[in-house]
């Protein structure tokens, strides 16, 4: 388990559980930023500061913030410094709050930086006067005062100071992912060996075949690989539940990965259609009432397990994904699947550890992550964050329109995401 991360400035490499803590993990997940997330950072820096910063080859680490900050809110770390906080607002879209450390880095990209006299009093949260020579139409302004670099938010002829940092931070050369893997090899080997040991010990108590619930996400991909490595491919079955609302990209990925690994794949279906079910239910599934999961996913999986005399299923669930998953024991059962043991080999892993293990083994991961998705599920799902819902709409407009038509509502209501929060009677849906 990752407790903290130090940053080797000389090598520009994040180090797990070594040195002095720079990033403390706590209860919230941590991961390497995707191509999509890094592009968002570059775009917002350009928009708000008019500075071009290429983040495409950088190793950026994101640490999720508590839910009160929003559905998607994360600290962004890079070059051994906290760059800022990225969040998605329903009203504003993507928003980035840069730090003084990032201002110190960006100051090196500017031909001229605004300078103000050194002031002894605390500046953070105060307003400073902007001279004509410093005037800018950008949202934020970078300034230097004494040995510090600050960043302030423009408001008329004044600027409110948001943060300051010593003028010692600088952009570091990009590092290849394999160098990060090698630098953290001891930790990676430790968690791999522990997970494989758990898989072997757990499987020894049950007769084969063993199933792996394979969704196509990085966690179930890692779990599939580890189980195949521990038990061999002849004793295991990868089971993919096709709800009828699957991303085509995920279905192709699932087929491709199982074929590469030489693992037998079974695709199970409920025989029911989502559009037919919402006509019956007259409501979209919500986070507190995911009727779709039971009918379209769990039931066909359970029927397959019973038919094939499977008593042990490995699942790629992690405790950092949600508070409910954080309370699960490593070997558990479900009241929806009586007689089935669920084993969770990577329950204590962060997403960063899953990414490092995938890099270590050279495993391909679902391409939807680089399209902006943080989890892999259905085309429309109450567990989606707002930005994922909006991305999914751009990729699957026809499906969204069919759902809206069946509920006699409009696309605007579907994209508002309000239906995710609680069960809503769609007999009189809001327009």
Residue 423 scores a pLDDT above 80: no
User: Please, which residues have CB within 8 angstroms of residue 355's CB and are 6 or more apart in sequence?
Assistant: 31, 32, 218, 365
- Does some domain include residue 356? yes
State pTM to two decimals: 0.93
Torsion of CA 374, 376, 381, 385, to 10 degrees: 0
Is there a domain that residue 194 lies in? yes
Whether cis (ω within 30° of 0) applies to the bond prior to 116 is no
The pLDDT score that the predictor gives to residue 282 is 63
Q: What's the pLDDT tens digit per position in 246-291?
A: 999 999 999 999 999 999 999 999 988 888 888 776 678 888 888 8
Alpha carbon of residue 286 to chain centroid = 20
Domain holding 406, by residue range, is: 184-420
- By C-alpha distance, which of 233, 243, 303 is closest to 276? 243
- Whether 48 and 161 map to the same domain: the answer is yes
Percent of the chain with pLDDT over 90: 77
**What's the number of CA atoms in the CB half-sphere (13 Å) around residue 258?**
25
Distance CA 104, CA 371 (A): 30
Q: What is the pLDDT of residues 146-204, one digit of tens each?
A: 999 999 998 877 889 999 999 999 999 999 999 999 999 999 999 999 999 999 999 99
Binning the chain into helix, strand and coil, the percentages to the nearest 5 are 40, 25, 40
Half-sphere exposure (Cβ direction) of 261: Cα atoms closer than 13 Å: 30
Task: Give domain status of residue 320, yes or no.
Answer: yes
121 and 270 share one domain = no
Instruction: Please indicate, yes or no, whether residues 135 and 193 belong to a single structural domain of this protein.
Output: no
What are the pLDDT digits (tens) for 18-51? 999 999 998 899 999 999 999 999 999 999 999 9
74 and 214, same domain (yes or no): no
Nearest to 54 by CA among 170, 171, 177: 171
Same domain, 329 and 356: yes
**Could you give the CA distance from residue 22 to residue 13 in angstroms, rounded to a whole number?**
12
């Amino acid at each position: 388990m990752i407790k903290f991360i130090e940053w080797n400035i000389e090598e520009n490499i994040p180090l797990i559980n070594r040195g002095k803590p720079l990033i403390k993990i706590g209860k919230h997940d941590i991961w390497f930023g995707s191509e999509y997330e890094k592009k968002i950072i570059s775009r917002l820096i350009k928009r708000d500061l008019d500075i071009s910063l290429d983040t495409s080859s950088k190793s950026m680490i994101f640490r999720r913030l508590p839910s009160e900050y929003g559905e998607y809110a994360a600290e962004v770390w890079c070059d051994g410094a906290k760059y800022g906080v990225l969040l998605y607002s329903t009203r504003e879209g993507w928003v980035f709050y840069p730090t003084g450390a990032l201002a110190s880095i960006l100051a090196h990209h500017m031909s001229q930086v605004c300078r103000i006299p050194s002031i002894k009093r605390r500046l953070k949260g105060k307003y400073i006067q902007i001279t004509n020579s410093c005037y800018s139409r950008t949202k934020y302004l970078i300034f230097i005062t004494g040995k510090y670099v600050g960043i302030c938010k423009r408001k008329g002829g004044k600027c409110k100071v948001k943060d300051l940092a010593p003028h010692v931070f600088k952009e570091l050369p990009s590092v290849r992912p394999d160098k990060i893997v090698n630098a953290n090899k001891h930790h990676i080997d430790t968690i791999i060996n522990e997970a494989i040991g758990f898989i072997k010990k757990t499987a020894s108590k049950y007769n084969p075949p063993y199933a792996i619930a394979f969704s196509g996400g990085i966690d179930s991909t890692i779990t599939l690989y580890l189980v195949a490595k521990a038990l061999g491919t002849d004793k295991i079955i990868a089971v993919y539940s096709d709800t009828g609302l699957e991303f085509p990209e995920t279905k192709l990925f699932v087929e491709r990965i199982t074929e590469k690994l030489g693992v037998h794949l079974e695709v199970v279906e409920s025989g029911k259609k989502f559009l037919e079910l919402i006509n019956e239910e007259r409501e979209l599934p919500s986070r507190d009432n995911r009727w779709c999961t039971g009918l379209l996913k769990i039931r066909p999986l359970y029927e397959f397990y019973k038919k094939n005399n499977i008593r042990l299923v490995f699942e790629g669930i992690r405790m950092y994904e949600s508070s409910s998953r954080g309370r699960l024991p490593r070997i558990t059962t479900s009241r929806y699947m009586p007689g089935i043991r669920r084993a969770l080999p990577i329950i204590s892993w962060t997403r960063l550890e899953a990414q490092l293990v995938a890099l270590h083994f050279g495993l391909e991961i679902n391409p939807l992550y680089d399209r902006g998705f943080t989890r892999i599920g259905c085309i429309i799902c109450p567990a989606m964050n707002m930005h994922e819902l909006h991305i999914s709409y751009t990729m699957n407009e026809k499906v969204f329109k069919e759902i809206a038509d069946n509920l006699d509502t409009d696309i605007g209501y579907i994209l508002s995401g309000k239906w995710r929060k609680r069960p809503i009677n769609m007999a009189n849906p809001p327009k």
